[in-house]
A = this chain, B = another copy of it.
Amino acid sequence: MRDQRTVRCTYYIESAKPPADAAAVMAGEQSSGTFVPVPGESPRIRERHAAHVVEVRELERRSPSLPSRSRPEQVRAANVTIDIPMENIGTDLATLWTTIAGNLFELGELHACRLNRLELPDDFVAAHPGPAFGIKGTRRLIGDAAGALIGTIVKPNIGLSEPEFRQVVRELARASIDLVKDDELMTDQAHLPLERRIAVATEEIRAAEQVTGHPTMYAFNITGDLAGLRRRHDMVVEAGGRCVMLNVPVMGLQALEWLRSFSEVPIHGHRAGLAASMRADGLGVDYGVWQQLARLAGADQLHVSGLRSKFYERDEEVAGNIRGLLAPLGATTPVLPVLSSGQNVTTPAPTFSAVASTDLLMLAGGGVAAHPGGPAAGVRSLRDAWAAATEGVALADAAERRARAGDDALLRAVEKFGQGAG
């Protein structure tokens, strides 16, 4: 058991210095934060508040990953683990983030600095409520929907008139889809204000439920100014909406935490912009670190790219991130991983094979809207593809079987999107 009074961080670093010395600089920057000894830095303070380097694993030498003031030909790479006294941080997320992911990235003598692993003390985790709804609460609000949930994004995301938007939502809700979400670019633009989107979508969803019996959830993007965040949330709730969406990296983890403190509905956490501090080798923060904080801050549903997506992460990375999301985090309610980008009937099989779970929300854009038989056929084709994946039936076989039974939705989707690579 490690010391539960410290926050443990593992960084990948590069430096011209010996790695142990570079790690010592980082530990200093994260606790006492100065290089010129100053009066008042007493033994008592060092004893109680200093961060400690607990492990240095040197790797081979390489050329620098990041630009700096100095330009060494070769640097020494290492994974270093540092323990920071929890007393320095308390339980505040912003203070934690400043400490573990603040000035460190700027240090000129580091030619790479990436936070790859974060182990929080139990007391830190326990100080945060985590998701209020999570997987269970989301399913409950969608009529106790079981299995992988099928969702989609309103497209085109910019420029729909109100009648056009109404038509899109009507078709999707009548297709018995589990969730419809705003695109991350849809906020409160004048050509289709959030207030009208809420009114129209909740109206169409209620009407569709009378026919289908299935209560589609709509994630309304309430990203925007903080002064209006609560008002926008309240608009959703008062109209009978059952989900709000936040672009978390744009708004910040504190905005998510604050929304969690008053939200009466699940929070759909988008990750637009996260890659800016995640994608470079040797810089920023790994998804596995960020997702812990997003969960503590209270996201009920959290984006994680998707296998076979148009985004950069390779399938094994995405699968690892999904497994990370599904792993326990203290006593918090499990969060619902949201798969997006390039999702269609070919993706359930590799996804289920990689993560062995259907506690997922799969967002299919073209896979729903561009299905030749229309959105309802698109939704059916995706549910059939998930059934095939969990039963271990090949997609082509499942498509033929369903077609023989009178529903060619999967067959036509397979014709359009292919059978997938594996």
Nearest CB of chain B from residue A156's CB, rounded to whole Å: 5
* Contact A280/B66 with A158-B88, A250-B98, A366-B34 known, Cβ cut-off 8 Å: yes
* Contact A285/B276 with A185-B99, A190-B87, A255-B252 known, Cβ cut-off 8 Å: yes
CB atoms of A273 and B38 under 8 A apart:
no
Q: What are the interface flags for A304-341 relative to B under an 8 Å C-beta threshold, 1 for contact and 0 otherwise?
A: 01000111111100000000000000000000000001
A122 contacts B by Cβ under 8 Å: no
Cα–Cα distance between A151 and B305 once the two chains are bound (Å): 45
Closest to A368 in B: B38
* Contact A366/B250 with A90-B189, A98-B184, A276-B101 known, Cβ cut-off 8 Å: no
> Which stretch from A138-146, A218-226, A381-389, A393-401 is at the chain B interface?
A218-226
Closest to A25 in B: B310
CB atoms of B189 and A158 under 8 A apart:
no
Q: Which of A288-309 contact B (CB under 8 A)?
A: 305, 309
Closest to A108 in B: B312
A92 contacts B by Cβ under 8 Å: yes
Q: What are the interface flags for A372-413 relative to B under an 8 Å C-beta threshold, 1 for contact and 0 otherwise?
A: 000000000000000000000000000000000000000000
Cα–Cα distance between A227 and B69 once the two chains are bound (Å): 40
Q: Which of A113-171 contact B (CB under 8 A)?
A: 155-160, 164, 167-168
CB atoms of A312 and B68 under 8 A apart:
yes
CB atoms of A98 and B189 under 8 A apart:
no
A419 contacts B by Cβ under 8 Å: no
CB atoms of A258 and B226 under 8 A apart:
yes
Q: Which of A7-31 contact B (CB under 8 A)?
A: 30-31
Q: Interface extent on A, as a size class?
A: 35 or more
Q: Cβ of A265: which chain B residues have Cβ within 8 Å of it? A: none
A67 contacts B by Cβ under 8 Å: yes
Closest to A39 in B: B369
Q: Which of A40, A155, A261, A341 has the most CB of B within 10 A?
A: A40
Cα–Cα distance between A159 and B225 once the two chains are bound (Å): 36
> Which stretch from A41-49, A75-83, A348-356 is at the chain B interface?
A41-49
Q: Which of A63-118 contact B (CB under 8 A)?
A: 65-69, 87-90, 92-95, 97-99, 101-103, 105-110
Contact of A90 among B66, B190, B227 (CB under 8 A): B190
* Contact A90/B188 with A38-B366, A105-B279, A280-B280 known, Cβ cut-off 8 Å: yes
Q: Which of A244-296 contact B (CB under 8 A)?
A: 247, 250-252, 254-255, 257-258, 261, 272-277, 279-285
Q: Could you write out 24 A-B pairs with CB less than 8 Å apart? A: A34-B156, A38-B156, A38-B366, A40-B156, A40-B369, A41-B155, A67-B281, A69-B315, A89-B189, A90-B188, A90-B190, A94-B223, A95-B188, A95-B223, A99-B185, A101-B250, A108-B309, A225-B254, A225-B257, A252-B255, A255-B255, A276-B284, A277-B277, A283-B283
Q: Known pairs A34-B155, A36-B369, A98-B272; list 15 more (Cβ under 8 Å).
A: A32-B157, A32-B158, A34-B365, A40-B164, A66-B280, A90-B189, A94-B247, A102-B250, A103-B273, A107-B310, A108-B311, A109-B310, A224-B254, A277-B277, A280-B282
Binding site for B on A (CB under 8 A): 30-42, 44-45, 48-49, 65-69, 87-90, 92-95, 97-99, 101-103, 105-110, 155-160, 164, 167-168, 183-185, 187-191, 223-227, 247, 250-252, 254-255, 257-258, 261, 272-277, 279-285, 305, 309-315, 341, 365-366, 369-370
